[in-house]
């Protein structure tokens, strides 16, 4: 039993070891040369000055509704002409287009023209993570091919080989994306000295290493060769080194791309799609991240703020102030099947020493959290598709709350999903957290999956004025249960704490009667296992029991022996310590028993009444202990069921 409980605690206390602590890469001042290089590349390709504009969009609907984000279609005039020639031997690729003047069209005219031609929309129902409908399974063969291509002679030769398995524009972009994400390593040295980082497309290809500007530049160049319209964007990013709630100013610090597919612009970030760096950005690890490929603009804005707001592809656009204050939901959040979090601001002020966070998902999800890295000063309850967390900082000041999650169906580790800064002005001393307290608290869908149904108490916190309570569940017949009581208010043995709980079964329910030894805050931990399983009990759920009545002082329940069966029921006496020189009435139910007596000085027999209960009275005079003995059917011997002590 102890191992089962320990495993549950270890999982929550040591999640830092099991979850990927890497973070997305973000440049320090890498954006200083972005505009200049981008203009130069555009000039070489012959479409410098080409502009796109955004028209008004529908305002996002409330949660649960249908949200529509719209952008303008590509301007059809003037045409962008392209010609690809892949001859035998050395590859020859040419890209032709009208001169720059042909692309210098009045922005207002383009705006009006797009209004007349119609608009394109990004439907979003809070489950689709991409701005374009994609069947990833149909791309698996292409993905496998593109990720294994190994060409370094030239960018043109590389694109030629990649396009052998790509037919549509989407497949061309996908092949380029997969190759870059699996072959370009992030330059951790160049990150710290961007002036010496290799960022030109050919240098990135040959060195297989760069910072974000090089990733985005190579992607843009490869798309140009493939005949795909693509631009390099720059702006502020919530990546490596980002602190919750920080302000952004000065030069841009990250670069990514937008591609034009099926009449609309779409966003992607190959730097973050390739992998992540460790905490001090000294080592890069390839770890492909699908989330950053054609990410829906409503999600992409969570970590990317472009210099030119129109490239948010949203209307209305998000202000820099809103970007700074909003929570940051990245791939871990959405990959875990989560949909939304509340509050939506990254900094929370406590009210009466408490801050509340809730998360909604579309499937059953497990959560763990920490405050300032180690503290567990919070009460978390699982909900059908999410969770609610009440945090009670134990000191005033700023605290960092980190939340981790994983789908219940997953056998993997918990992934980081969200951070908040909690500003605490006062501490709530009424809530205590016993040392052995484990979240989640109270019954939930997880309790049902463990086989305990229809709880008598659905609220996770039970306030008891007299220090007693009884909690019951409908129980699957194949389960065996047990419970433990923990508190920092009492210093007694584990056996004594267990004896403040008495378990009873009737029909298909199990009941845990609790008598608290004194006032205080306690955790009732409930465990279960299959009766046929000889292993440890598994943690099921727990309750927080609170008693403020200083006069409460209940003794332990009587000691039960192995002969006491799960379907037996004790009605009285429930106190394990009986008064001296007194008559005591006994009442209990024990199916399958033929005879029963109490071993006082007279061996007082108990009588089976019509209601199915054994009843009788004995006297405690001259006794130090009392035992109840029973003889089961088809046996000739008596076995001890319960032991009571008598006050001296």
Q: List the structure tokens of 43.
A: 């000039």
How many other CB atoms are there within 10 angstroms of residue 416's CB atom? 20
Interatomic CA distance for residues 236 and 28, integer angstroms: 10
Residue 73 confidence (pLDDT): 38
To which residue do tokens 């009571």 refer? Answer: 644
CA–CA–CA angle 460, 463, 466 (5° rounding): 145
Phi, psi dihedral angles at 565 (to 5 degrees): -90, 160
The 3-state secondary structure of 61-96, one letter per residue: CCCCCCEEEEECCCCCCCCCCCECCCCCCCCCCECC
The alpha helices in 133-249, defined as continuous H runs, are 140-148, 155-162, 169-183, 188-192, 201-207, 212-225
Residue 17 confidence (pLDDT): 38
Q: Kindly tell me if the per-residue pLDDT of 485 is higher than 60.
A: yes
CA dihedral 474, 476, 477, 479 (to 10 degrees): -110
Interatomic CA distance for residues 403 and 330, integer angstroms: 12
The alpha helices in 80-187, defined as continuous H runs, are 107-117, 140-148, 155-162, 169-183
* Exposed/middle/buried for residue 282 (C-beta within 10 Å: 0-12, 13-18, 19+): exposed
Q: In percent, how much of the chain has pLDDT > 90? A: 62
Q: Is 242 helix (H, G, I), strand (E, B) or coil?
A: coil
Helix, strand, coil tally for the chain in percent (to 5):
25, 35, 45
The alpha helices in 430-554, defined as continuous H runs, are 445-449, 494-498
DSSP 350: -
Interatomic CA distance for residues 473 and 505, integer angstroms: 10
Higher per-residue pLDDT: 448 or 12: 448
The backbone region for 42, taken as left when phi is positive above 0, alpha when psi lies in -120 to 50, beta otherwise, is: alpha
Domain boundaries, the chain: 136-321, 332-424, 445-547, 562-646
Q: Kindly tell me if the per-residue pLDDT of 421 is higher than 50.
A: yes
Q: In percent, how much of the chain has pLDDT > 70? A: 80
The backbone region for 520, taken as left when phi is positive above 0, alpha when psi lies in -120 to 50, beta otherwise, is: left
Radius of gyration of the chain (CA): 34
- The structural architecture, per CATH, of the domain 445-547 is Sandwich (2.60)
pLDDT band, very low/low/confident/very high, at 515 (cuts 50, 70, 90): very high
β-sheet bridge partners, residue 403: 369, 418
Q: Averaging pLDDT over each range in 140-144, 376-380, 572-576, which range is the top one?
A: 140-144
Question: Are 258 and 43 spatial neighbours (Cβ–Cβ below 8 Å)?
Answer: no
Q: List the structure tokens of 261.
A: 């597919």
Residue 486 confidence (pLDDT): 87
For 58-87, write each residue's pLDDT tens digit: 333 333 333 333 333 343 322 222 222 223
The alpha helices in 293-411, defined as continuous H runs, are 297-300, 320-325, 331-335
Residue 477 confidence (pLDDT): 75
Higher per-residue pLDDT: 98 or 445: 445
* Exposed/middle/buried for residue 214 (C-beta within 10 Å: 0-12, 13-18, 19+): buried
Question: Are 642 and 560 spatial neighbours (Cβ–Cβ below 8 Å)?
Answer: yes
Residue 294 confidence (pLDDT): 96
Ranges assigned E (strand) in 280-424:
284-286, 293-295, 304-306, 338-342, 347-349, 355-361, 365-371, 378-383, 386-391, 397-407, 415-424
Q: Averaging pLDDT over each range in 2-6, 106-110, 198-202, which range is the top one?
A: 198-202
Interatomic CA distance for residues 410 and 643, integer angstroms: 46
Q: Kindly tell me if the per-residue pLDDT of 384 is higher than 70.
A: yes
DSSP 245: T
Phi, psi dihedral angles at 274 (to 5 degrees): -80, -35
Interatomic CA distance for residues 418 and 369, integer angstroms: 10
Residue 249 confidence (pLDDT): 94
Least confident segment among 169-173, 195-199, 457-461, 486-490: 486-490
Domains 445-547 and 562-646 share a fold: yes
Spell out the CATH class of 332-424. Answer: mainly beta
- The structural architecture, per CATH, of the domain 136-321 is Roll (3.10)
Q: Kindly tell me if the per-residue pLDDT of 116 is higher than 60.
A: no
Q: DSSP states of 306-326 as a string?
A: ESSGGGG--SSPPPHHHHHHB
Q: Kindly tell me if the per-residue pLDDT of 415 is higher than 80.
A: yes
Interatomic CA distance for residues 267 and 488, integer angstroms: 54
Nearest to 571 by CA among 514, 639, 504: 504
Residue 437 confidence (pLDDT): 81
Cis-peptide into 78, omega within 30 deg: yes
CA dihedral 491, 493, 497, 500 (to 10 degrees): -100
Interatomic CA distance for residues 131 and 170, integer angstroms: 12
pLDDT band, very low/low/confident/very high, at 635 (cuts 50, 70, 90): confident
Could you tell me whether strands 415-424 and 347-349 are parallel, antiparallel, or unpaired per DSSP bridges?
parallel
Q: Kindly tell me if the per-residue pLDDT of 12 is higher than 60.
A: no
Interatomic CA distance for residues 406 and 549, integer angstroms: 40
To which residue do tokens 């609907």 refer? Answer: 61
CB environment 163-195: b (16+ within 10 A), e (fewer): bebbeebbbbbbbbbbbbbbbbebbbebbeebe
Higher per-residue pLDDT: 455 or 316: 455
Please say whether the structural domain 562-646 has been given the CATH code 3.30.565.10: no
The mean pLDDT value for 558-565 works out to 91
Residues in CB range of 402: below 8 A, 6 or more apart? 369, 370, 373, 416, 418, 419
pLDDT band, very low/low/confident/very high, at 179 (cuts 50, 70, 90): very high
For 461-470, write each residue's pLDDT tens digit: 999 999 999 9
To which residue do tokens 């399983």 refer? Answer: 533
Question: Are 209 and 198 spatial neighbours (Cβ–Cβ below 8 Å)?
Answer: yes
* Exposed/middle/buried for residue 613 (C-beta within 10 Å: 0-12, 13-18, 19+): middle
Least confident segment among 84-88, 488-492, 635-639: 84-88
Least confident segment among 260-269, 315-324, 423-432, 444-453: 423-432
pLDDT band, very low/low/confident/very high, at 358 (cuts 50, 70, 90): very high
Question: Are 293 and 261 spatial neighbours (Cβ–Cβ below 8 Å)?
Answer: no
CA–CA–CA angle 362, 377, 327 (5° rounding): 45
Q: Kindly tell me if the per-residue pLDDT of 431 is higher than 70.
A: yes
pLDDT band, very low/low/confident/very high, at 315 (cuts 50, 70, 90): confident
Q: List the structure tokens of 456.
A: 């008598």
Q: Is 43 helix (H, G, I), strand (E, B) or coil?
A: helix
Q: List Cα–Cα distances, 173 to 95, 164, 329, 447, in angstroms.
A: 17, 13, 25, 46
Question: Are 628 and 614 spatial neighbours (Cβ–Cβ below 8 Å)?
Answer: no
pLDDT band, very low/low/confident/very high, at 125 (cuts 50, 70, 90): low
Q: Kindly tell me if the per-residue pLDDT of 362 is higher than 70.
A: yes
Catalytic (active-site) positions: 212, 254, 269
How many other CB atoms are there within 10 angstroms of residue 341's CB atom? 19
For 591-615, write each residue's pLDDT tens digit: 999 999 999 888 999 999 998 999 9
Q: Is 470 helix (H, G, I), strand (E, B) or coil?
A: strand
Residue 247 confidence (pLDDT): 94
Q: What average pLDDT does the structure give for the chain?
A: 81
Interatomic CA distance for residues 633 and 648, integer angstroms: 36
Q: Kindly tell me if the per-residue pLDDT of 391 is higher than 70.
A: yes
Residue 127 confidence (pLDDT): 66
Question: Are 270 and 257 spatial neighbours (Cβ–Cβ below 8 Å)?
Answer: yes
Least confident segment among 47-51, 276-280, 549-553: 47-51
Q: Kindly tell me if the per-residue pLDDT of 325 is higher than 50.
A: yes
């Amino acid at each position: 039993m102890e191992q089962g409980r320990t495993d549950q605690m270890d999982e929550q206390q040591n999640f830092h070891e099991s979850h990927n602590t890497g973070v997305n890469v973000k440049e320090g001042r890498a954006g200083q040369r972005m505009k200049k290089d981008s203009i130069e590349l555009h000039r070489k390709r012959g479409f410098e000055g080409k502009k796109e504009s955004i028209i008004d969009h529908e305002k996002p609907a409330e949660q649960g509704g249908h949200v529509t984000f719209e952008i303008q279609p590509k301007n059809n005039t003037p045409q962008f002409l392209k010609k690809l020639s892949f001859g035998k031997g050395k590859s020859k690729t040419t890209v032709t287009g009208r001169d720059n003047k042909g692309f210098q069209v009045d922005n207002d005219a383009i705006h009006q023209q797009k209004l007349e031609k119609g608009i394109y929309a990004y439907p979003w129902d809070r489950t689709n993570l991409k701005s374009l409908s994609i069947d990833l399974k149909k791309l698996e063969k292409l993905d496998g091919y593109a990720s294994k291509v190994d060409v370094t002679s030239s960018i043109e030769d590389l694109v030629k080989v990649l396009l052998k398995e790509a037919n549509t524009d989407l497949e061309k972009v996908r092949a380029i994306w997969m190759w870059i994400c699996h072959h370009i390593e992030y330059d951790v040295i160049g990150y710290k000295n961007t002036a010496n980082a290799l960022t030109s497309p050919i240098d990135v290809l040959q060195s297989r290493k760069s910072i974000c500007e090089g990733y985005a530049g190579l992607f843009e160049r490869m798309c140009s060769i493939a005949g795909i319209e693509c631009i390099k964007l720059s702006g502020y990013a919530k990546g490596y080194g980002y602190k919750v709630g920080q302000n952004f100013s000065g030069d841009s610090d990250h670069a990514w791309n937008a591609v034009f597919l099926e009449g609309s612009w779409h966003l992607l970030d190959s730097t973050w799609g390739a992998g992540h760096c460790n905490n001090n950005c000294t080592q890069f690890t390839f770890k492909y991240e699908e989330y950053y490929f054609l990410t829906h603009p409503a999600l992409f804005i969570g970590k990317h703020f472009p210099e030119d707001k129109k490239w948010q592809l949203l209307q209305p656009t998000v202000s820099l102030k809103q970007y700074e204050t909003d929570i940051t939901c990245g791939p871990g959040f959405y990959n875990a099947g989560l949909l939304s979090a509340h509050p939506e601001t990254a900094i929370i002020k406590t009210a009466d020493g408490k801050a509340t966070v809730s998360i909604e998902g579309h499937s059953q999800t497990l959560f763990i959290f920490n405050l300032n890295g180690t503290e567990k000063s919070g009460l978390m309850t699982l909900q059908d598709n999410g969770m609610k967390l009440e945090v009670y900082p134990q000191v005033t000041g700023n605290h960092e709350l980190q939340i981790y999650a994983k789908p219940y169906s997953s056998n993997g580790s918990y992934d980081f999903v969200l951070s908040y800064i909690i500003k605490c002005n006062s501490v709530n001393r009424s809530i205590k957290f016993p040392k052995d307290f484990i979240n989640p608290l109270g019954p939930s869908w997880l309790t049902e999956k463990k086989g305990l149904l229809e709880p008598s108490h659905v609220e996770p916190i039970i306030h008891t004025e007299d220090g007693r309570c009884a909690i019951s569940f409908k129980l699957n017949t194949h389960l065996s249960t047990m419970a433990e009581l923990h508190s920092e208010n009492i210093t007694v043995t584990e056996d004594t704490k267990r004896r403040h709980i008495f378990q009873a079964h009737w029909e298909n329910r199990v009941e845990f009667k609790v008598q608290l030894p004194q006032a205080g805050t306690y955790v009732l931990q409930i465990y279960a296992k299959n009766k046929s399983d000889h292993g440890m009990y598994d943690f099921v759920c727990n309750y927080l029991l609170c008693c403020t009545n200083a006069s409460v002082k209940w003794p332990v329940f009587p000691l039960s022996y192995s002969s006491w069966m799960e379907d037996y029921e004790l009605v009285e006496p429930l106190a394990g310590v009986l008064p001296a020189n007194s008559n005591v009435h006994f009442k209990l139910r024990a199916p399958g028993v033929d005879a029963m007596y109490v071993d006082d000085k007279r061996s007082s027999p108990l009588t089976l009444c019509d209601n199915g209960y054994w009843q009788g009275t004995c006297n405690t005079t001259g006794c130090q202990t009392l035992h109840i003995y029973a003889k089961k059917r088809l046996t000739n011997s008596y076995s001890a069921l319960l032991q009571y002590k008598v006050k001296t």
